[in-house]
Amino acid sequence: MKIAVVSPNKIQLNEIGKLLQAASHVAMLIEGGNASLRQAAEQEAPDLMLVDAACGDLDALAQVEYVTSHHPRIAVVLLCNGASPDFLIRAMRAGVIEVLPAPVTLLELEAALNRVASKQRGLAPRAAGKLFAFIACKGGSGATFLATSLGFQLAETKSVLLIDLNLQFGDALSFVHDARPASTLADVARDIDRLDASFLAASTVKVAPNFSILAAPDDHTQALDITPGQVEAVLALAVLHYDFVLLDVGRAIDTLSIKALDHANTIFVVMQAGLPSVRNAKKMLAIFKSLDYGADKVELIVNRFDKKAPIGVASIERALGKFKLHTVPNSYKQVSASIDHGASLMTTARANPVSRNLADFARELSPRPVGSRSLFDRLLGRGGAGAGVASLTARQVTGEHHVVP
């Protein structure tokens, strides 16, 4: 069970974290006031929120009511001491399922968590997330860049997990993060018996509030121990807890990658508009056909596309057939700089043509409600006055995040 703890009191927050750690739970500790509740629900998508609030705090109840009405699968437990009967009734009406005394004991907390878990097991499962695989038909095509960049874009409104399945040479994390991961896919596979949502989340690196990456092994020898069955188990769990699961598959098509590709909703074949790339794409599409992957499962992305180049969209379609095809413009200098610095182009150069193109692509993959605007749009001023204020407000209410393993 994924737990988010929200409290304005850092000492109280750490005490609750120690209790959860003693009970072998993984929790996100969010230091912030009432304004953090809504953001914690939307960014962390927890199963349970423990909210430390003053008894009689009606503003806290208003924020809780927003969470429970917009995210009905999130259970909210309130921590406060000396609540009046009137406040308890208001809390129940706001959707709070339990009110525990503060400070809470380990015994009281564990009992409450067991009750919540029992209730949640009776709920209908959430809709499975979408699984997208990115595979390069030729080295240097840009599959990892596209997967990580689209991950950033999709994470503006949805929860995203990228799994690096390029087991021997995977470096997806380095495209957007400059530190080594504490855990990798090999560590998850080695302890596959412990696999649950909390263990999976704790094994990832969170590179943005809604975007996590499960890195490939650092040691190529560890990759040899990962089995297709283990990968399948990770994917089956991931789609239940993330809106989008992205796979950076690498180029090898073997039993392990095929197991992953079998489960993909869409396979994005990444290529460039050159003869070697077109020839390799043709071979790859033939393999997919032999695996009974229909044309509706496979889409093409032509990266670094130049409209004036000798090989255009029409030539590619004649050579490869009628697949859905996306083009991404060429911006080699800025893209290379972002990769070299381990920072996403989506954050370092939002006005870049590639950034704009991928923002549009992400909206195709995850359409937003009419009238809503992404952070990308607001920062660029799309949608008129007030964009700057909305962006500033979002930054002001961001709480400090810690992970308790």
Cα 287 from Cα 228, distance rounded (Å):
19
- Strands, E assignment, 228-341: 244-248, 266-271, 298-305, 324-329
Cα 121 from Cα 75, distance rounded (Å):
12
Q: What is the DSSP string of 89-150?
A: HHHHHHT--EEE-SSPPHHHHHHHHHHHHHHHHTSPPPPPPEEEEEEESSTTS-HHHHHHHH
Q: What pLDDT shows up at residue 359?
A: 92
- The more confidently predicted of residues 146 and 389 is 146
What are the angstrom distances between the C-alpha of 63 and each of 8, 369, 375? 14, 22, 22
Q: Could you read off the pLDDT of 180-219 as tens digits, one per residue?
A: 899 999 999 998 877 877 889 889 999 998 999 999 998 8
Q: How many whole angstroms from its chain centre is CA 144?
A: 16
Q: What pLDDT shows up at residue 109?
A: 82
Taking residues 364-378, report their average pLDDT: 64
Q: Could you read off the pLDDT of 288-300 as tens digits, one per residue?
A: 999 999 999 999 9
Q: What is the pTM of this model?
A: 0.64
Q: Could you read off the pLDDT of 238-282 as tens digits, one per residue?
A: 988 899 999 999 888 999 999 999 999 999 999 999 999 999 999
Q: What pLDDT shows up at residue 370?
A: 56
Asked if residues 267 and 297 have their Cβ atoms less than 8 Å apart, the reply is yes
What values do phi and psi take at 264, rounded to 5? -70, 140
